[in-house]
Chain A
């Protein structure tokens, strides 16, 4: 009788938790759902019944054809993708190496350096937009993807270092010392022993880094607004006019923009799961 009660209590608790999570998921997904259904409607359909699913009367691929025909959509995609992927690679490499140094080696100023890097998590990089713009102009990097990549690396590093340092602390000391006795050099210990072990953390950091970059409008707008260098979020702006907004095109391009980031996310999340199940040290 007792156990039955406890089980029922557990069940109701689980139900409440799931209800909250489900609500949150719905709230988060509904706007995306709206964007996607409206992308497949005619202009008239969007305005007359924005909440309804496309039917035979309102269904139209008008937006997609317009986007693909009228703009450099592939180029915007390519720009966004390049910036995101290159940034992720650089952030992961630099952050994991910095985290390894901070967690493994004792040197003077270790704690201060870690704190200094952590401050970056709390100060939004956009506060420095003016000086960043000045700097980029002086470096002659205005209107280049390099400018965006540099800024995004700076933006992504603090949190990445913070998360990875915590994970590196969890790796047993014996494992590193065993590798040292085994004749493994420091670089090789890092790349062949440590990195594979913190793969779930690396995947987490990759996701954290990737999404704000892909969605960013601010820095592309001030640093690389020129022709041929726009990212996808900036490129879509051409359909938003002062007087007329081409909602078909905007919604269609937004729907398309979800796809690459979704693919990247799937790749990383699989790493995440694989990492967690790969068996721990005793």
Chain B
């Protein structure tokens, strides 16, 4: 087990910069998830940590040692791949024992480690099978087992659940969470699925276009996104955004006009010279309710209705053409092309400037805060 430190890590392919100076601290035993859209550089960053890609600039430290030029096998890492990458010509047992055998470990020690990993992952019955005789979930467990037996300082997971079907994904996700509790190991996990990130991570690193947008606990990212990108990326369904006009600023309050003409007073610290500008307002669908009771009220025509049983998602078209999603109760009887009013508390709203940076929220009710 060890901590991991990234100091101004940069990566370029020729003239193309892929990572622009990434700083990150991962504490011993922490579960860190890199999340971001395709092409944001998260997999490249993981491969740099693994030693499969060279570093263009900056330092990478594992357990206090700079490992920039060390080969993967000298870094004390183990990696689990999206495609499982099991050796097809070896049995499950041999797949897990292969690396250890080459490292000249004692045969009985290898056996003990493999059987222990098999027990944790419930692979006991499958040790003599070949990968081709296993289901996707079983293969992924073997790939995880192959990582466990190495007793690495850091586990690296590269989108390990992407090849599994939905039900198996949920199940394997829970197994990985349990595994982390049991092993208490440092894990770096890459995914594009924000649900995986929210459920597994101690710390989420949201990446966009080769930069770290924000680092924080899942609840911090959910309640206090620092940028519009993070706000839109974390949470499902995604946060609603619409353009509002700043009318006045006074004493930690800002008065805005929402599409449709209604006014709202929101608790944000907005500089006085932003008055008259158009900014972006964000509200999560689950924080909106039907009716007029709220500090922030907005109306729109229902475009699409999605009934999920426990709740109903209403897709509203606002006066300025923006889409707003509202989570209504499951028994809602609202139909397409009705005009409805949705409202939220002022504390639930987010406000972003023209560059996508969040204005500081000055008052935050407990239910909209990550503080416990």
A282 at the interface (CB under 8 A from B): yes
Which B85-140 residues sit within 8 Å CB-CB of chain A? 85-89, 98-99, 102-103, 130-133, 136, 139
A256 at the interface (CB under 8 A from B): no
**A196 CA to B77 CA in the complex, in Å?**
26
B333 at the interface (CB under 8 A from A): no
**A282 CA to B73 CA in the complex, in Å?**
24
How many A-B Cβ pairs are below 8 Å?
84
**A196 CA to B87 CA in the complex, in Å?**
10
Residues in A with CB closer than 8 Å to B79 are 177-178, 181
Which A232-254 residues sit within 8 Å CB-CB of chain B? none
The answer to whether A180 and B87 touch across the interface, beta carbons within 8 angstroms, is no
The answer to whether B102 and A183 touch across the interface, beta carbons within 8 angstroms, is yes
Interface centre among B51, B73, B82 (most CB of A within 10 A): B73
Contact A177 B83, CB 8 Å, known A183-B150, A184-B102, A188-B102:
no
The answer to whether B139 and A178 touch across the interface, beta carbons within 8 angstroms, is no
- Residue in B closest to A278 when the chains form the complex, CB atoms: B89
B337 at the interface (CB under 8 A from A): no
| Chain B window 237-281, contacts with chain A (Cβ cutoff 8 Å), 1 for yes, 0 for no | 000000000000000000000000000000000000000000000
Contact A279 B131, CB 8 Å, known A180-B73, A182-B99, A188-B102:
yes
The answer to whether B102 and A185 touch across the interface, beta carbons within 8 angstroms, is yes
- Rounded to whole Å, the gap between the CB of B151 and the closest CB of chain A is 12
Residues in A with CB closer than 8 Å to B156 are 181
The answer to whether B77 and A281 touch across the interface, beta carbons within 8 angstroms, is no
- Residue in A closest to B80 when the chains form the complex, CB atoms: A178
- Rounded to whole Å, the gap between the CB of A174 and the closest CB of chain B is 4
- Residue in B closest to A275 when the chains form the complex, CB atoms: B89
Residues in A with CB closer than 8 Å to B99 are 182-184
The answer to whether B88 and A278 touch across the interface, beta carbons within 8 angstroms, is yes
**A45 CA to B50 CA in the complex, in Å?**
76
The answer to whether A197 and B102 touch across the interface, beta carbons within 8 angstroms, is no
A139 at the interface (CB under 8 A from B): no
The answer to whether B88 and A281 touch across the interface, beta carbons within 8 angstroms, is yes
Contact A279 B88, CB 8 Å, known A184-B73, A185-B102:
yes
* Secondary structure dominating the interface of A: helix
Residues in B with CB closer than 8 Å to A193 are 87
A273 at the interface (CB under 8 A from B): no
B78 at the interface (CB under 8 A from A): yes
Which A265-282 residues sit within 8 Å CB-CB of chain B? 278-282
Partner of A181, one of B73, B103, B130: B73
Residues in B with CB closer than 8 Å to A182 are 73, 78, 98-99, 146, 150
The answer to whether B88 and A178 touch across the interface, beta carbons within 8 angstroms, is no
- Residue in A closest to B98 when the chains form the complex, CB atoms: A182
Which A184-236 residues sit within 8 Å CB-CB of chain B? 184-185, 188, 192-193, 196-197
**A196 CA to B146 CA in the complex, in Å?**
20
The answer to whether B89 and A282 touch across the interface, beta carbons within 8 angstroms, is no
Contact A181 B89, CB 8 Å, known A281-B131, A282-B163:
no
Residues in A with CB closer than 8 Å to B229 are none
The answer to whether B81 and A279 touch across the interface, beta carbons within 8 angstroms, is no
Interface centre among B79, B87, B156, B163 (most CB of A within 10 A): B87
A128 at the interface (CB under 8 A from B): no
Residues in A with CB closer than 8 Å to B130 are 278-279
- Residue in B closest to A180 when the chains form the complex, CB atoms: B72
A175 at the interface (CB under 8 A from B): yes
Which B140-167 residues sit within 8 Å CB-CB of chain A? 143, 146, 150, 156, 163
The answer to whether A279 and B87 touch across the interface, beta carbons within 8 angstroms, is no
- Residue in B closest to A281 when the chains form the complex, CB atoms: B88
B52 at the interface (CB under 8 A from A): yes
Residues in B with CB closer than 8 Å to A279 are 88-89, 130-133
B84 at the interface (CB under 8 A from A): yes
**A→B interface (CB under 8 Å):** 172, 174-175, 177-185, 188, 192-193, 196-197, 278-282
Further 12 A-B residue pairs, CB within 8 A, beyond A177-B52, A181-B50: A174-B81, A178-B143, A179-B87, A181-B73, A181-B78, A181-B79, A184-B98, A193-B87, A278-B88, A281-B86, A282-B139, A282-B163
Provide 9 A-B residue pairs closer than 8 Å at the C-beta atoms, listed in order of the A residue: A175-B85, A177-B85, A179-B87, A184-B102, A278-B89, A279-B130, A280-B132, A281-B86, A282-B163
